[in-house]
Structure 1
Amino acid sequence: MSDLKDPRVLFAAERTLLAWNRSSLALIAFGFLIERSALLLELAAPQRNAALHPGYALWLGLAFILLGVTAALHSCREYRVVLRTLTPAEFPPGYRATWGMGLNLAVALLGLLLAAALWLNAAATNVPGAAG
């Protein structure tokens, strides 16, 4: 339990949470880029790019997206742990410390929806390795 009675402790924890949010978004975006890059390379030169199989790009892209979702969820959990250690004096009057957590949870949910959409699209277009 913190006895500093200083709201800067809360704001430092919130900055850390939002830094993790940016990392989560970057991982999700990178995963999407990897998944879509195989399609772009195949359209550009179908004979030359047989080494980058669309199934591999799908799995690697989904792994990065799910890593971003995991980072967003874990950072929310850690932030909640920190919030529980703070005293009421460390919260500015009327300040809601849960907005950052809500943002991270929204990023995690949208990341899961993106992963599901990519998976279903791959299964519908018969990408090898996508069919359950």
Structure 2
Amino acid sequence: MSYLDDPRVLFAAERTLLAWNRTAIAIMAFGFVVERFGLFLHIMAQHQTQIGHYDAALVLGMSFIIVGVVLLLISMRQYRLVIKTLSPAEIPTGYWINMGVLTNLIMAILGLALLAYLALV
């Protein structure tokens, strides 16, 4: 427990959650760019490159997306653990503390949808 009775503790935890959210989104975006750039190189080379270069870019890009989704889920769990330690005095009346969690959950679902898209296209 923090014993501070100060809502800044909640806001600091929320800022940390959203910082992890931005990091995970950036990692997933990088994975998508890696995969698409591998496809671009494959198309531009008119299939003259060695077979497997595009497959490597696909696997690497999808791996980055998986790491991003895992980061979203882990940061969500960590935030929930911190919130459980706060006293009612540290949470402003009427403040919805789960908005960051909902954002992370939506981004994780969209990350999984992106994985499915890349796997099927």
What is the SS of the residue equivalent to 1:19?
helix
CA distance in 1, matches of 2:100, 2:50: 43
What is the SS of the residue equivalent to 1:38?
helix
Q: Where does residue 57 of structure 2 map in the other structure?
A: 57
**Aligned residue-pair number:** 121
Q: Where does residue 45 of structure 1 map in the other structure?
A: 45
CA distance in 2, matches of 1:29, 1:74: 18
Instruction: Provide the identity percentage.
Output: 53
Once the two structures are overlaid, the 10-residue window that deviates more, 43-52 or 24-33, is 43-52
The residue type paired with residue 90 of structure 2 is E
The residue type paired with residue 115 of structure 1 is L
| Superposition deviation, residue 118 in structure 1 | 0.5
CA distance in 1, matches of 2:49, 2:4: 59
The TM-score, its normalising length taken from structure 2, stands at 0.94
The residue type paired with residue 6 of structure 1 is D
Which segments of 5 or more consecutive residues in structure 1 lack a partner in the other structure? 122-132
Computed over aligned residues only, the root mean square deviation of the Cα atoms, in angstroms, reads: 1.4
Q: Where does residue 120 of structure 1 map in the other structure?
A: 120
What is the SS of the residue equivalent to 2:106?
helix
CA distance in 1, matches of 2:15, 2:50: 44
